């Protein structure tokens, strides 16, 4: 389940009381001017001009104040700015919470994950533009989540809310970012694979498709040691019959009530078979069978190798080899995805202006290097 906490704050700005006080201050100044006027028979020229046009001036000032007051009343959102960090966001019982206070708390709790989402989105949206394959995969993943949680009585809306997504669009955006990150990591790992590694893997592990059939004496997961031993003895008994000259078809018919018979057909070097079976079919010669039971998680096999195709060329299997080597590197280094994304950000020229966040990011990455 994706873990994602998004903070959506309604930042409220407290109306500046200075503007509200400006009107009363103006009136005090008027009284002061009036007193000075009475005490002095001769007024300065600028004061004569002010006295002459005071009605017009008062009209202009009054109009401005009314406009400001009306704007404050009808302004739907008053958002605190981070220009100096001191602007209030909210207050209660004498406690004033500033934008700076809120930012510092958010920085401590959600900073790195939120910051990296924005940074990675910026880089990866340009590197991997949206396409049909991406959208199909994202929608498929979303539906998979919905269906899984629906089985436990959780609706889509509840799932989104419980995981911090304000809308389905936000969830799809999260999955889209995850898709792009995985794509970048895959490409990064592939870039680490050398031509020599590819050639060595081809020489040591690739072979032509092998055609086999087999007899299986099944062993259940709950089987006792005694039952396992009995199954092994039955497989050895069948091999003895083959050694005495009976054909594979004859013994499969004779033991049909105690065994499972299957024709696997041609299987490649990277077929989804257990290692023990693959090793056995490789070492057998054409038209030969196992001389000892081959044990897998299913039980005991007697493998019969029919024939083999020619080894494919390197060019025909190169992409398959790269995929195999990539998976191997991922298994060997569980932190490789973090290392890849860190390199991506460095190559893109990430620059921190907040030293606290920079230290948090460096500390975060130290765990994966």
**How far is 134 from 176, CA to CA, in rounded Å?**
7
CATH assignment of the domain containing 259:
3.10.50.40
In this structure, the answer to whether residues 174 and 119 fall within a common structural domain is yes
Q: Number of C-alpha atoms within 13 angstroms, CB side, residue 157?
A: 0
3 in a domain, yes or no? no
157 in a domain, yes or no? yes
51 in a domain, yes or no? yes
Question: Is residue 294 helix, strand or coil?
Answer: strand
Helix orientation angle between 45-52 and 17-39, rounded to the nearest 10 degrees: 110
In this structure, the answer to whether residues 130 and 85 fall within a common structural domain is no
Those residues whose C-beta lies under 8 Å from the C-beta of residue 246, and which sit 6 or more positions away, are: 254
Domain boundary among 105, 120, 155: 105
313 in a domain, yes or no? no
pLDDT score, position 364: 85
Burial class (CB in 10 A: 0-12, 13-18, 19+), 228: middle
In this structure, the answer to whether residues 182 and 260 fall within a common structural domain is no
Mean pLDDT, all residues of the chain: 81
Distances (CA, A) of 297 to 66, 210, 239: 85, 21, 20
In this structure, the answer to whether residues 260 and 301 fall within a common structural domain is yes
160 in a domain, yes or no? yes
128 in a domain, yes or no? yes
- DSSP assignment string, 33-80: HHHHHHH-SS--HHHHHHHHTHHHHHHHHHHHHHHHHHHHHH-S--PP
328 in a domain, yes or no? no
Higher-pLDDT residue of 364 and 241 is: 241
- Does position 103 have pLDDT exceeding 80, yes or no? no
In this structure, the answer to whether residues 137 and 118 fall within a common structural domain is yes
Domain that holds residue 24: 17-105
Higher-pLDDT residue of 363 and 73 is: 363
Scanning 156-224, the segments in alpha helix (DSSP H) are 156-162, 168-192, 195-205
Question: Is residue 352 helix, strand or coil?
Answer: coil
pLDDT score, position 105: 63
Domain boundary among 105, 125, 147: 105
Q: Residue 177 in contact with residue 124, Cβ under 8 Å?
A: yes
In this structure, the answer to whether residues 166 and 142 fall within a common structural domain is yes
Specify the length of the chain in residues: 369
**How far is 325 from 221, CA to CA, in rounded Å?**
32
324 in a domain, yes or no? no
The pTM of the whole model exceeds 0.85: no
Domain boundary among 308, 324, 350: 308
Those residues whose C-beta lies under 8 Å from the C-beta of residue 237, and which sit 6 or more positions away, are: none
In this structure, the answer to whether residues 186 and 217 fall within a common structural domain is no
In this structure, the answer to whether residues 144 and 218 fall within a common structural domain is no
Q: 157: which 2 tokens?
A: 């809306």
In this structure, the answer to whether residues 142 and 161 fall within a common structural domain is yes
Residue range 213-245, pLDDT digits in tens? 999 999 999 999 999 999 999 999 999 999 999
Considering its fold, how many domains does the chain have in total? 3
Residue range 136-160, pLDDT digits in tens? 999 999 999 999 999 999 999 999 9
């Amino acid at each position: 389940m994706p873990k994602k906490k998004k903070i959506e704050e309604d930042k409220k700005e407290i109306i500046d009381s200075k503007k509200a006080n400006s009107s009363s201050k103006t009136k005090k100044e008027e009284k002061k001017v009036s007193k000075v006027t009475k005490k002095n028979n001769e007024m300065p020229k600028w004061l004569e001009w002010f006295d002459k046009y005071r009605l017009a001036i008062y009209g202009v000032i009054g109009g401005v104040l009314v406009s400001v007051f009306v704007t404050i009343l009808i302004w739907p959102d008053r958002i605190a700015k981070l220009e100096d960090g001191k602007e209030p966001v909210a207050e209660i019982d004498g406690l004033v919470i500033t934008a700076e206070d809120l930012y510092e708390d958010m920085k401590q709790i959600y900073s790195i994950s939120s910051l990296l989402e924005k940074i990675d989105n910026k880089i990866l949206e340009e590197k991997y533009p949206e396409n049909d394959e991406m959208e199909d995969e994202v929608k498929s993943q979303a539906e998979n989540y919905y269906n899984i949680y629906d089985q436990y009585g959780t609706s889509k809306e509840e799932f989104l809310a419980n995981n911090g997504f304000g809308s389905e669009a936000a969830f799809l955006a999260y999955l889209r970012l995850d898709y792009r990150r995985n794509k970048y990591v895959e490409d990064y790992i592939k870039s680490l694979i050398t031509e020599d590694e590819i050639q060595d893997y081809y020489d040591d592990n690739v072979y032509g498709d092998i055609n086999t059939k087999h007899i299986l004496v099944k062993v259940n997961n709950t089987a006792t040691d005694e039952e396992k031993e009995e199954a092994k003895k039955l497989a050895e008994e069948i091999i003895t019959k083959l050694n005495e000259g009976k054909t594979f078809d004859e013994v499969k018919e004779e033991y049909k009530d105690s065994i499972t018979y299957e024709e696997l057909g041609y299987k490649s070097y990277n077929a989804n078979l257990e290692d023990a079976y693959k090793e056995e079919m490789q070492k057998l010669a054409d038209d030969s069978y196992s001389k000892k039971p081959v044990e897998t998680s299913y039980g005991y096999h007697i493998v019969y190798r029919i024939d083999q195709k020619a080894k494919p060329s390197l060019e025909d299997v190169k992409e398959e080899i790269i995929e195999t080597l990539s998976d191997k590197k991922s298994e060997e280094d569980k932190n490789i995805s973090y290392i890849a994304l860190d390199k991506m950000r460095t190559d893109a020229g990430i620059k921190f202006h907040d030293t606290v966040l920079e230290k948090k990011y460096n500390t975060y990455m130290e765990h994966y290097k």
